[in-house]
Amino acid sequence: MTRLTDDAVRSRLATAIDHAGGVRAFAKLHHLPPSLVSDSRTGRRALGPSVLAALRLAKHVTTSHYYAPITRAELRRPVGRRSEVAGSPASP
């Protein structure tokens, strides 16, 4: 599966607009407001589902995780103390 950035999608949108003959022509062809098409192309609006559908694209949201080095301060911090848990009373 090819993953596209917002900039790549906006580039595809600009190309599609040019092929259609302009913003109004593209908007009319896909039953969209011309302001939505123009604002999506320039980045004033997010790339919404109707513009993506016109480009035959869909937005896929994924979550990812990463690992980071532990800082020296984190190495000195005790692990699992009750006082570090939010809302629990501190141990005497």
Task: Look at residue 42 and tell me whether its pLDDT is greater than 60.
Answer: yes
Q: How many CB atoms lie within 10 A of CB 10?
A: 17
Using a 10 angstrom Cβ sphere, with 0-12 exposed, 13-18 middle and 19 or more buried, the burial of residue 19 is exposed
Per-domain residue ranges for the chain? Answer: 6-54
Residue 66, SS3? coil
Q: Is the entire prediction scored with pTM above 0.85?
A: no
**Per-residue confidence (pLDDT) for residue 71, from 0 to 100:** 74
pLDDT tens digits, one per residue of 68-81? 677 777 677 666 65
